Amino acid sequence: MRTRLRGSLLGVLVAAGVFAVSGAAFGTIGPGLPAPALSLKDAAGKSYDLSASNRRPMTVLYFFDADSRPSLEGLLTLNEVAKGAKAGGLTVWAITTSAKEKASGFARKAGVTFPVLIDEGGKVSDAFGARVILPSVRVVGPGGVVLDSFQGGGKATEAMLVRVAERSLQRKETALASALGDEVLKKNPGNAKARAVKGYAALRQKKLKEAESVFSGLSRQGGEAEVLGKEGLATVYSREKNPSKALAMVKEVEEKAPGRGYVNVVKGDILYAQNWKKEAEAEYVKASSRTEGEPYQQASRYNQLGRLYSSSARYGKAQELFDKAVEIDPYFIEGTTNKGVALEKEGKWDQALASYRGALAVNPGDAFAVTLARRAEEMVALSKDAGRKERMDRLVKELADRFRVQKSEGIKKEDEWSSGPTVLTFVDFQEKGGLSERDGFSTVLLTRLSENLNASGRVKIVERALVERVLEELNLGSSKLADPETALKLGKLFAARLIGTGSLLNLPESSVLSMRVIDTETSGIVQTEIRTLDPAGSVDEELFRINRDILRMVMEKYPLRGFVARVDGEEVLLNLGMKQGVVKGTRFDVLEEGEGIVYKGKKLAAAPKVVAQMEVLSVEPEFSRAKVTRKDRPLKQDDKVQERAN
């Protein structure tokens, strides 16, 4: 289990039910307070430093007595879940004041898969106030802060397991949440909250039919179960693009449980997608004023209102709401990154970077936070480099002035045959449709696409910082950028042969990217991409395909062309290098003009004939060396070469 623990992201616990008590009742460490930096050893003498839990998103500290069966009930249930393949996100440390021999004997007999730590003298137990009633549990969350306290067995253990499942949903550990829900339902099939957890876990896994079945069953039971079921059905129907049925469920929940705000979020999202933004705002405000609801629903009440405020330049109010969302759910990194994007829009890059780093402290693998933080680091570095900033300011002003007088300059070529670099620039995609949970998806997509294409070496991407500064100087918003003529003018302004533009349609379950690549010289569309993306999941595979398609198109429609500069036996020197986009492995054909024919006094040209082929072995900034792989005649200086698409 030690190996499994190293790889785990978290463990959980909660204090819920009649036996749940606060830190004040213990008189020691409770919710909202930092966990003490104490160290314990297991029976084999291996040390575990509790301060190390600060580096985990969440750790369950389970205090028990090896001689007390009620004390062990919850521990054994957690152990059953930990043995499963779906428990990768569960981290538990079992702590006892029992004798080392008894503790180790229990661990062996029960097959405990997590550390059993010996608290000799009870110092750690006393520090946490965990010897009043056993079992006693504390959850240590981000930054080493205690999130929840729980004490007692029996029904309290059941409530604890439900909350662990709910916390797992907050962390998007859907498989773990579902497994914990199953454990509760084995002992109490009537536990409505555990069943609701399974429904929302299915929703997050995009198993809409399964989720609908779970919530339909709950909705027929009456009481709390009926409310939970109809809340879930409202969400299912909205994601199935059935707004009328969703709004009917919202109305029923409002009548039966007016204090619950989550259905107002669902209604607000539906209204926003229908472009009823004022009405949507009223629903989000209503949701933020209501306090009842499940833990995994609460943050969205503030987040969606914050997103709406940020989209209409009410950044200060938006940031306050994002802070509230994260305050009630420390795992809601969507709120943390959304705050960063709002700070970006105000030009507060250093504060935005701090927000992104805060999100990464909770989830280091979050693709949004990783990309946005890297971009913010570049902007902060730019602001601190006085010389570079001055040059950038000068260039931005010059380009903005050119745009205003509609003057642009193309790339100057050495000759009519030799290629210059294939330069591509992107302008921000216009976001349409619903109000997505996360802001900045367009920015993340463009940043990662630009990075991937630039890394290929074949395409040169105009620096994003420069593009954004020029757009800011020109005060060009997304609506103006959606105009094809404006986008085309921008492409020419940056001396780019190609410009990528388009839209991002936000739907309940996904986003649809519609992208066009336009040739700035001919104004023709040379490539279109329509992809369905999941902002909550990995977009790497789709971005890889888009990247591959663009590179293939560039090689086929804009092949590199140059000359043989020198011949050394079976190796040749070409007048093309890194600056033009040549990379190791690039293949070239050597072309020879065909003889053509004369017909009715007019000479008709023939297609060029391939007389040799070569592959690049090494590349310098302005030239490259290639090995001849096939030839029909000896090569000579000034032979024409053209890239061959692989």
Count of domains forming the chain: 3
> What is the gyration radius of the CA atoms in the chain, in angstroms?
31
Is residue 15's pLDDT more than 70?
A: no
In angstroms, rounded to a whole number, what is the distance separating the alpha carbons of residues 392 and 381? 13
What is the model's pLDDT at position 210? 97
Last residue of a domain, one of 130, 154, 188: 188
The per-residue pLDDT for range 452-506, each reduced to its tens digit, is 999 999 999 988 888 878 877 887 766 676 677 777 788 888 888 999 988 999 9
Residue 352 lies in a domain: no
Question: Residue 586: pLDDT band by 50, 70, 90 thresholds?
Answer: very high
What is the model's pLDDT at position 412? 53
What is the model's pLDDT at position 546? 93
Is residue 25's pLDDT more than 90?
A: no
User: CATH number, domain at 88?
Assistant: 3.40.30.10
**Is residue 1 located within the same domain as residue 145?**
yes
User: CATH number, domain at 634?
Assistant: 2.40.10.410
Q: In the predicted model, what is the mean pLDDT of the chain?
A: 87
Which residues are CB-neighbours of 12 under 8 A, at least 6 positions away?
Answer: 58, 60, 90, 139, 163, 164, 167, 168
DSSP H or E segment with residue 80: helix 69-83
**Is residue 536 located within the same domain as residue 419?**
yes
Last residue of a domain, one of 489, 524, 557: 557
**Paired tokens of 485:** 């003529």
What is the model's pLDDT at position 20? 34
What is the model's pLDDT at position 387? 85
The per-residue pLDDT for range 168-180, each reduced to its tens digit, is 899 899 999 999 9
Phi, psi (degrees; rounded to nearest 5) at 168 = -65, -35
**Is residue 544 located within the same domain as residue 490?**
yes
**Is residue 172 located within the same domain as residue 124?**
yes
In angstroms, rounded to a whole number, what is the distance separating the alpha carbons of residues 331 and 142? 8
Question: Residue 632: pLDDT band by 50, 70, 90 thresholds?
Answer: very high
What is the model's pLDDT at position 460? 92
**Is residue 413 located within the same domain as residue 551?**
yes
**Is residue 600 located within the same domain as residue 473?**
no
Q: Which range (135-149, 193-207, 467-481) has the least confidence?
A: 467-481
Look at the chain and count its residues.
646
DSSP labels, 489-557: HHHHHTT-SEEEEEEEEE-SS-EEEEEEEEETTT--EEEEEEEEE-TTS--HHHHHHHHHHHHHHHHHH
**Is residue 613 located within the same domain as residue 544?**
no
**Is residue 467 located within the same domain as residue 600?**
no
Write a three-state SS string for 613-642.
Answer: EEEEEEECCCCEEEEEEEECCCCCCCCEEE
Is residue 410's pLDDT more than 60?
A: no
- The answer to whether 166 and 146 have CB atoms below 8 angstroms apart is no
Residue 455 lies in a domain: yes
Is residue 24's pLDDT more than 50?
A: no
What is the model's pLDDT at position 8? 36
| 562 three-state secondary structure | strand
Question: Residue 388: pLDDT band by 50, 70, 90 thresholds?
Answer: confident
Residue 398 lies in a domain: yes
Is residue 5's pLDDT more than 50?
A: no
Question: Residue 89: pLDDT band by 50, 70, 90 thresholds?
Answer: confident
What is the model's pLDDT at position 21? 33
Residue 180 lies in a domain: yes
Residue 313 lies in a domain: no
Task: Say which residue, 248 or 606, is predicted with more confidence.
Answer: 248
Strand locations in 253-385 (E): none
* Of the candidates 621, 645, 494, 646, the residue with the CA atom closest to the CA atom of residue 558: 645
User: CATH number, domain at 482?
Assistant: 3.40.50.10070
Q: Which range among 38-52, 348-362, 470-484, 584-598 has the greatest average pLDDT?
A: 348-362
Question: Residue 407: pLDDT band by 50, 70, 90 thresholds?
Answer: low
**Is residue 541 located within the same domain as residue 430?**
yes
What is the model's pLDDT at position 481? 65
Range of the domain at 620: 561-643
The pairing of strands 640-643 and 571-574 is unpaired
The predicted model gives 523-527 an average pLDDT of: 92
What is the model's pLDDT at position 483? 73
What is the model's pLDDT at position 479? 66
Residue 549 lies in a domain: yes
Is residue 13's pLDDT more than 50?
A: no
Is residue 598's pLDDT more than 50?
A: yes
What is the model's pLDDT at position 385? 83
The predicted model gives 518-532 an average pLDDT of: 91
Last residue of a domain, one of 128, 162, 188: 188
Residue 138 lies in a domain: yes
The per-residue pLDDT for range 214-231, each reduced to its tens digit, is 999 999 998 999 999 999
**Is residue 484 located within the same domain as residue 550?**
yes
* Of the candidates 210, 13, 166, 8, the residue with the CA atom closest to the CA atom of residue 89: 8
**Is residue 145 located within the same domain as residue 18?**
yes
Task: Say which residue, 6 or 347, is predicted with more confidence.
Answer: 347
The predicted model gives 359-363 an average pLDDT of: 92
**Is residue 496 located within the same domain as residue 518?**
yes
Q: Which range among 66-75, 347-356, 403-412, 586-595 has the greatest average pLDDT?
A: 347-356
What is the model's pLDDT at position 27? 44
In angstroms, rounded to a whole number, what is the distance separating the alpha carbons of residues 560 and 557? 10
Write a three-state SS string for 207-244.
Answer: CHHHHHHHHHHHHCCCHHHHHHHHHHHHHHHHHCCCHH
CB-hemisphere CA count at 13 Å for 57? Answer: 28
Residue 579 lies in a domain: yes
Report the largest interatomic distance among the alpha carbons of the chain, rounded to a whole angstrom. Answer: 109
